[in-house]
Chain A
Amino acid sequence: MIFKNNYDVVIAGAGPGGAAAARKCAEGGLSVLLLEKRQEIGAPKRCGEGLGLSFVNHIGFKGDDGFVTNMVDSACLVAPNGKEIMAAFPNDKGCILERKMFDKALCYKAAEAGAKIIAKAAVINVLKKNGKIIGVKAKIDGKTFEIKSKIVIAADGVESKIARMAGLNTKNRAKDIDSGFQYEMAGIELENSHRICLYFGNSIVPRGYIWIFPKGKTVANVGIGIAGNRKKTAKEYLDEWIETQPGIKKGSIIEVNSGGIPVGGLLKKMTLDNFMVVGDAAHQVNPLHGGGIDEATVAGELAAQVALKAINSGDTSDKTLQEYNSLWWKTRGKDLEKIEKYRKLVEKLTDEDMNILAGAVSGTALLDFAVGKGETLIKILMKNPKLFKLARHLI
């Protein structure tokens, strides 16, 4: 494997965040090294694989690419009492990806732009000189290398070890991380294979939800995201629920996935001298639905934009890189912070609250709510005496 011992930018982790940063930096003319500790980029997935079509377009793909397994046009939200609320996606279709192919496609783009990517290459520490980061120590092919760089970008996902080594506190507090568990299942029965289904209720999944994201007529990701401090493991809750669903229960297990979903604790500070952190590693995830592919990508792009400017001006100090902090907070942070507040309210809902809600609101209002636009929902709640209290919390 040929690589240099000196780059403009070294990036740790080749998920969507790292790949986006690598691509943008390379397109801007910087020399880039992207290191991924797993032997195959994108596998095994830690993801339900749902992503909006408009976002797939945003990153330069049409949606007919190999990594899109299925398109979905609506969601069905199921209340604890079984009431189903349908919501058509008004402006955007949803793609269910094959994450492994998607993550690789992002890396192909980055490599095309000139970034050097190496799989099975783990960053094991940051290099420091006079307290400032000057590169990384990496284990590649069983050997340890010191690689210098002007900027290090940590995109190492939920583990977020690199940022902690660098000196940022990116630890997830127990209350700010959901446990995720999922089966990819085949041979199951789906009522509508172009609709995602979400199940709520404190008896089946306290402070969380179960999802079915169809990848085809008889194939789907069946998963659960659930808050901590509960009686059983995420897997146990999901297994018990599947037992009650004959159409799912009869299926086969094709893949087993687990993961942590950082659903809170947004970071005020994501930079140091010569250092930035993006994606799950910086807790950049939608706190309500747990989606983070788009968030990591956007953050990677913003970080690259600032890195490019900084390197070209010869000043990669924390002060300069902080522009990434402010850009991110302006474009995404504010929304996510609002959604984090929504989440705190949702966690308090009893099954009865949810049932009343399901009888009173439209699916579209709920979908808007999940992306930070709660205004319509609040209006509906205000009109309903039983739900008035909830509306007050939201305002």
Chain B
Amino acid sequence: MCRAGFKVILMVSKVDNEKCLRCGGCVSVCPVDCILLDEAKGITVDAKKCTSCGVCVDFCPVGAFSIKKED
């Protein structure tokens, strides 16, 4: 809840690691450098830094990203 009484909904980028092919392309396009690729675990997005700009969604060749409400 913000001070004006509106509920602030934070949107962040979420990744489906079942779809992800570990190619690392998204890591290089994220403007705020908040994507990390681990060969075993896959992709993690630093939700604190993510600006939900959508660049990763547009780039990912397999459509593993989507912009969703932060849990």
A236 at the interface (CB under 8 A from B): yes
Asked if A236 and B63 sit within 8 Å, CB to CB, the answer is yes
Asked if B39 and A177 sit within 8 Å, CB to CB, the answer is no
Residues of chain A within 8 A (CB-CB) of B63 are: 233, 235-236
Residues of chain A within 8 A (CB-CB) of B31 are: 171
In the complex, which residues 263-296 of chain A have their Cβ closer than 8 Å to any Cβ of chain B? Answer: none
- Docked pose: A180 CA to B62 CA in angstroms: 9
B55 at the interface (CB under 8 A from A): yes
Task: Return A123 CB to nearest CB of chain B, in Å.
Answer: 13
Count, A-B residue pairs, CB within 8 A: 80
Asked if A260 and B39 sit within 8 Å, CB to CB, the answer is no
Residue among B23, B31, B39, B62 with the highest chain A CB neighbour number at 10 A: B23
- Docked pose: A256 CA to B28 CA in angstroms: 21
Asked if B60 and A262 sit within 8 Å, CB to CB, the answer is no
Task: Return B40 CB to nearest CB of chain A, in Å.
Answer: 9
Residue of A nearest to B56 (CB): A174
Residues of chain B within 8 A (CB-CB) of A177 are: 25, 28-29, 59
Asked if B58 and A229 sit within 8 Å, CB to CB, the answer is yes
- Docked pose: A230 CA to B63 CA in angstroms: 12
Asked if A46 and B23 sit within 8 Å, CB to CB, the answer is yes
A164 at the interface (CB under 8 A from B): yes
Interface size class of A (residues with CB under 8 A): 20 to 34
- Docked pose: A260 CA to B60 CA in angstroms: 8
B45 at the interface (CB under 8 A from A): no
Size of the B side of the interface (Cβ < 8 Å), in residues, is 21
Asked if A258 and B33 sit within 8 Å, CB to CB, the answer is no
Residues of chain A within 8 A (CB-CB) of B62 are: 181, 233-235, 258
Asked if A259 and B23 sit within 8 Å, CB to CB, the answer is yes
Asked if A171 and B39 sit within 8 Å, CB to CB, the answer is no
- Docked pose: A316 CA to B31 CA in angstroms: 31
Residues of chain A within 8 A (CB-CB) of B11 are: none
B47 at the interface (CB under 8 A from A): no
Residues of chain B within 8 A (CB-CB) of A257 are: 21, 23
Q: Which 4 A-B pairs have the closest CB atoms?
A: A260-B25, A234-B61, A233-B63, A181-B61
Residues of chain B whose beta carbon lies under 8 Å from any beta carbon of chain A: 21-31, 33, 37, 39, 55, 58-63
**24 chain-A/chain-B pairs, Cβ below 8 angstroms:** A37-B39, A38-B39, A39-B39, A157-B24, A158-B23, A158-B24, A159-B27, A171-B31, A173-B29, A177-B29, A177-B59, A179-B25, A179-B61, A180-B23, A180-B25, A181-B61, A228-B58, A230-B58, A233-B60, A235-B62, A258-B25, A259-B23, A259-B24, A259-B61
